[in-house]
C-alpha cells in the first residue's frame, strides 16, 4: 500500500524526467505511450489504495525521509491521505489521464510533442505532491511546482510574444498570492511551532480561541495564496489570458485541477478558518463577488475559450462561497463535478477549435450540430451541467452550495440571492455558447472529425458529468459534521427553476428570437456596460494604471542610471579642466615666451606691491 | 669727463625702449630668425643699461657684465643658428608656429 502511494506522484515525475532528457530522440508514439501511460498507471495506483481506504476510512500516512534539518525545524517528506486527498487524487489522475489521452491526438501535429508531455506529466506530479503533502511546506513545494508548470504550458507556443506575456502574467499575478501564503506559513510556524497539518490544527485549537487576531491574520494570508491560485478577485486577471496555452492545458490546469488548489488549501486547513469567522465571511463575499463579476464578463465574450475561462472563475467563486458558509463537503463536491464538466467543455471546445482551423471566435462558428455530432452532444451535456440543469452533476453540487448559503446565519439569504443571480447568468451564457456555436447557419465548415482518442475522453467525461452527482465523496471524517439541511419547498423549486429560466431566456434570444437585447445593447449605457464586461470589468486597465505603468516608468528612469549621472558629472568637470590646461601646453614658442614675460611682469608688480 | 654728459635717465630710457622693441618683436614675429634678432636686441638693451650704469658710478663692473653678455650672446646665437638649421631641414619652413609637436 505504501509502495502504491509513493508510486502515484513518482511515476509522472519519472516520465517527465525521461521525456525531458530523451524525448526528442523518441518516436512520437512512444512519447505518447510513456506520457499517458505514466498517468494511467498512477490512476490505477490511486484505485488500488482507494479500495481499502473506502472499507476502513483510515487515514494513511507514509513518511519517506526527512527533508531538511535546521535546528528544531525538520519538515518531513511525507504523504497523508484521507478522504479529501483521495478525491483530489482521483480527479487529478483520472481527469488528467483522459486529458493526456486527448492530447495525444490534439497535439499530433506539434513539433514539441515530447516537451508538451514532459510538462504535463510534471504538472500532474506537482499537483499530486500538493494534495498528498502532510505538511504545509511540502504543499508549498507542489504549489510552486504547479505554478511553474502553468507558466511553462501557457507559454508553450513561445514563438508568439503574446503567449510569453500571458505566461509571465500568470506567473507574476499568482506570485503575489504565493508571497502572502509564504508569509502565512512563516506566521503559523513562529506562532504554533509546526507546519505538519494535523498537529498544526490541534495546536491552533489549543492556542487560539475563536476570533483570535493571529488566527485572522494567518488565515487571511493563506486566503491570499488561495485567491492567487484560484483566480478570485482581485488576483483573477491572469486566468483569461492563460487561455493562450494549448486547449487541453486549459482543460487540465486552468479548469479541472490547478485552479482548485486554493479551494483545496482552504478545505485542508478549514479548522484554522473556523477559528477566524471574519476571514470566512471574506471568503464567502469574495467568492460571490467573483462568481457574479465573471458571469457578467462571460455574457459578452466572443472567444470560446475566454467564455469558458470566465465561467471557471465564476464556478470557483461558487466553491469559495461554499467554503465561506462552512459547506466544506459541498464545495469539494462542486470542485469534483466542476472538474468533470469543465474538462469536458474545454475538451469539446478544443475539438471545435481543432476541427475549424484554430478558429476561436464563436460568431464565426455556427450550425456545427450536425457536422460534429460527438462534439455537440459533449458540449451540450457539459453546458447543461455547468448551468446546473436538474439531474446533471452540476445541479447536485451547486444546489448543495446554495442551500448552505441560504441557511448561513446573518447574510445567508443575501448570499443565496446573489448565488441565484449567478446561476441564472451561468445558464444563460452557457446556452448562448451552445446556441451560437452549434445552431443557426453554418459559418465555417469543419475539415476533419475528432478521432477515437479525442472522442473517448469526451464520452467518458460526458458520463461523469451526467452521473457524477451520484458519486458520494468520502469526506465525512475530514470535515466537521453539519446539521441536516431542511430548506423550504419553495427554496428547492426556485433553485431548480432558475437555471431552466436561464436556458429558456437563451433560447428565446438566440433561437426563436422572441426577446431581443439589440436595443438595450445599442443604447449608450448598454454599450458602455457591455464594453466594461468585455474588458473583464477593466481590472487589467486598473492594474496597468496602478502598478504596471508606474513600474515601467521607474524602470525606464533607472535604466539611465541616475546615480551614476552624478559621478559622470564629476568626471566631466575634471575632463574639462584637463582640456583647459592641455590647451595651455600648445607647443608654440611665442606663446611660451609671452606667458613667461607675463608671469615675470605679474611677479614684478606683486613684488613692488610688497615693497611699498 | 666734462663736456657732453648724457644723463643716465636718457640712457636707461633708450635701453628700456630697445628692450621693449625686442620684446614686442619676440612676441609678434613668427620667423625664428627674427625672433633670434629680437632676442639679440633685448640682450643689447640690457648690456647698454649695464654700461651706462657702470659709467655713471665710475665702476668697472658694468663693462665686465657687458663682456659677459657679449659672450652669452655669441653662445646663444651659435646654438640658435644650429636650431634654425635643424628647423629648416625638418619643417622646410622657419615658421615657429608650425613647430608645435610638443603640444599637450
Per-residue pLDDT of A201-259, as tens digits, reads 999 988 888 888 899 999 999 999 999 999 998 898 999 999 988 999 999 988 888 89
CB pairs under 8 A between A and B: 37
ipTM of the complex as predicted: 0.82
- The more confident residue out of B21 and A445 is B21
Q: How many helices (H) and strands (E) does chain B have?
A: 3, 0
Judge contact between A515 and A501, C-beta under 8 A.
no
| Residue B4 pLDDT class (50, 70, 90 cuts) | low
Q: What pLDDT sits at residue A524?
A: 86
Model confidence at B11: pLDDT above 60: yes
Contact B103 A597 (CB under 8 A): no
| Residue A483 pLDDT class (50, 70, 90 cuts) | low
Model confidence at A482: pLDDT above 80: no
Burial of A400-432, coded b for 16+ CB within 10 Å and e otherwise, reads bbbbbbbbbeebeeebbebbbbbbbbbbbbbbb
Q: How far is CA A308 from CA A86, A542, A593, in A?
A: 27, 23, 91
Q: What pLDDT sits at residue A485?
A: 62
Model confidence at B3: pLDDT above 70: no
Q: Which of B27, B29, B100 sits opposite A586 (nearest CB)?
A: B100
Contact A584 B104 (CB under 8 A): yes
For residue A586, the chain B residue with the least C-alpha distance is B103
Q: What pLDDT sits at residue B24?
A: 92
Q: What pLDDT sits at residue A60?
A: 85
Q: Taking the domains of chain B in order of start, what are their residue ranges?
A: 9-92
Q: Which of A581, A587, A593 sits opposite B101 (nearest CB)?
A: A587
Model confidence at A484: pLDDT above 80: no
Model confidence at A526: pLDDT above 80: yes
| Residue B104 pLDDT class (50, 70, 90 cuts) | low
> pLDDT tens, A263-272?
999 999 999 9
Mutate to test the interface with B, among A578, A581, A590, A600 (most CBs of B within 10 A): A590
C-alpha grid cell, residue A516: 431581443
**Arithmetic mean of pLDDT over chain A:** 89
How large is the average pLDDT for residues A553-571? Answer: 90
Q: What pLDDT sits at residue A306?
A: 92
Q: Note the pTM of the prediction, 2 decimals.
A: 0.80
Which chain A residues are within 8 Å of B96, Cβ to Cβ? Answer: 588-590
Dist CA A139 CA A125 (whole Å): 12
Which chain B residues are within 8 Å of A581, Cβ to Cβ? Answer: 104
Contact A587 B26 (CB under 8 A): no
Is B23 part of the contact surface with chain A (CB cutoff 8 Å)? yes
Q: What pLDDT sits at residue A2?
A: 79
Quick one: which of A293, A290, A343, A341 has its CA closest to A320? A290
B9-92, which class in CATH?
mainly alpha
Amino acid at each position: 500500500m505504501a509502495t502504491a502511494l509513493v508510486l502515484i506522484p513518482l511515476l509522472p515525475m519519472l516520465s517527465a524526467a525521461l521525456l525531458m532528457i530523451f524525448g526528442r530522440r523518441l518516436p512520437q508514439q512512444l512519447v505518447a505511450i510513456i506520457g499517458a501511460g505514466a498517468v494511467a498507471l498512477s490512476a490505477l495506483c490511486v484505485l488500488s489504495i482507494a479500495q481499502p481506504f473506502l472499507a476502513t476510512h483510515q487515514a494513511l500516512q507514509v513518511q519517506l525521509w526527512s527533508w531538511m534539518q535546521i535546528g528544531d525545524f525538520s519538515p518531513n517528506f511525507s504523504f497523508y491521505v484521507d478522504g479529501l486527498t483521495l478525491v483530489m487524487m482521483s480527479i487529478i489522475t483520472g481527469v488528467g489521464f483522459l486529458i493526456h489521452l486527448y492530447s495525444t491526438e490534439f497535439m499530433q501535429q506539434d513539433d514539441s510533442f515530447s516537451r508538451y508531455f514532459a510538462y504535463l506529466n510534471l504538472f500532474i506530479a506537482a499537483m499530486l505532491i500538493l494534495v498528498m503533502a502532510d505538511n504545509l511546506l511540502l504543499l508549498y513545494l507542489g504549489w510552486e511546482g504547479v505554478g511553474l508548470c502553468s507558466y511553462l504550458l501557457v507559454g508553450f507556443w513561445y514563438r508568439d510574444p503574446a503567449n510569453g506575456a500571458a505566461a509571465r502574467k500568470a506567473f507574476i499575478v499568482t506570485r503575489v498570492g504565493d508571497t502572502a501564503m509564504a508569509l502565512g506559513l512563516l506566521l503559523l510556524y513562529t506562532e504554533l511551532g509546526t507546519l505538519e497539518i494535523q498537529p498544526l490544527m490541534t495546536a491552533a485549537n489549543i492556542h487560539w480561541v475563536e476570533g483570535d487576531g493571529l488566527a485572522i491574520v494567518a488565515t487571511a494570508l493563506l486566503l491570499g495564496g488561495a485567491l492567487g491560485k484560484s483566480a478570485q478577485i482581485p488576483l483573477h486577471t491572469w486566468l483569461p489570458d492563460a487561455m493562450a496555452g494549448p486547449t487541453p492545458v486549459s482543460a487540465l490546469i486552468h479548469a479541472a485541477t490547478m485552479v482548485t488548489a486554493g479551494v483545496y488549501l482552504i478545505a485542508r486547513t478549514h479548522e484554522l478558518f473556523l477559528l477566524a469567522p471574519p476571514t470566512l465571511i471574506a471568503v464567502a463575499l469574495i467568492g460571490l463577488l467573483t462568481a457574479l463579476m465573471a458571469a457578467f464578463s462571460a455574457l459578452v465574450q466572443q472567444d470560446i475559450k475566454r467564455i469558458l475561462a470566465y465561467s471557471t472563475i465564476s464556478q470557483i467563486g461558487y466553491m469559495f462561497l461554499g467554503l465561506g458558509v462552512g459547506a466544506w463537503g459541498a464545495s469539494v463536491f462542486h470542485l469534483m463535478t466542476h472538474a468533470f464538466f469543465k474538462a469536458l467543455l474545454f475538451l469539446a471546445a478544443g475539438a471545435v477549435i481543432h476541427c475549424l482551423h484554430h478558429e476561436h471566435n464563436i460568431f464565426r462558428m455556427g450550425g456545427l450540430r450536425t457536422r460534429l455530432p460527438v462534439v455537440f452532444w459533449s458540449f451540450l451535456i457539459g453546458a447543461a451541467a455547468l448551468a446546473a440543469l436538474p439531474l446533471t452533476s452540476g445541479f447536485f453540487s451547486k444546489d448543495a452550495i446554495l442551500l448552505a448559503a441560504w441557511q448561513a446565519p446573518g447574510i445567508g439569504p443575501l448570499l443565496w440571492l446573489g448565488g441565484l443571480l449567478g446561476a441564472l447568468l451561468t445558464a444563460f451564457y452557457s446556452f448562448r455558447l451552445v446556441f451560437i456555436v452549434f445552431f443557426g447557419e453554418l459559418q465555417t465548415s469543419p475539415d476533419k472529425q475528432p478521432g477515437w482518442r479525442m472522442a473517448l475522453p469526451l464520452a467518458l467525461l460526458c458520463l461523469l458529468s451526467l452521473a457524477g452527482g451520484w458519486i458520494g465523496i468520502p469526506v465525512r471524517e475530514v470535515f466537521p459534521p453539519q446539521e441536516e439541511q431542511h430548506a423550504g419547498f419553495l427554496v428547492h423549486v426556485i433553485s431548480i427553476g432558475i437555471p431552466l429560466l436561464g436556458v429558456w431566456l437563451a433560447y428565446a434570444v438566440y433561437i426563436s428570437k422572441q426577446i431581443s437585447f439589440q436595443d438595450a445593447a445599442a443604447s449608450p449605457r448598454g454599450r458602455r456596460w457591455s464594453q466594461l464586461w468585455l474588458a473583464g470589468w477593466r481590472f487589467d486597465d486598473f492594474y496597468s494604471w496602478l502598478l504596471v505603468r508606474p513600474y515601467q516608468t521607474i524602470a525606464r528612469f533607472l535604466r539611465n542610471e541616475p546615480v551614476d549621472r552624478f559621478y559622470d558629472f564629476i568626471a566631466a568637470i575634471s575632463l574639462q579642466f584637463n582640456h583647459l590646461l592641455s590647451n595651455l601646453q600648445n607647443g608654440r614658442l611665442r606663446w611660451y615666451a609671452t606667458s613667461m614675460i607675463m608671469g615675470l611682469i605679474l611677479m614684478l608688480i606683486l613684488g613692488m606691491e610688497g615693497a611699498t | 669727463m666734462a663736456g657732453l654728459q648724457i644723463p643716465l635717465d636718457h640712457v636707461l630710457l633708450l635701453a628700456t625702449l630697445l628692450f621693449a622693441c625686442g620684446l614686442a618683436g619676440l612676441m609678434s614675429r613668427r620667423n625664428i630668425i627674427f625672433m633670434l634678432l629680437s632676442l639679440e636686441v633685448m640682450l643689447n638693451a640690457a648690456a647698454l643699461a649695464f654700461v651706462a650704469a657702470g659709467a655713471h658710478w665710475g665702476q668697472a663692473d658694468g663693462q665686465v657684465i657687458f663682456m659677459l653678455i657679449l659672450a652669452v650672446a655669441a653662445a646663444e646665437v651659435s646654438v640658435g643658428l644650429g636650431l634654425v638649421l635643424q628647423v629648416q631641414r625638418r619643417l622646410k619652413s622657419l615658421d615657429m608656429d608650425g613647430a608645435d609637436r610638443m603640444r599637450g
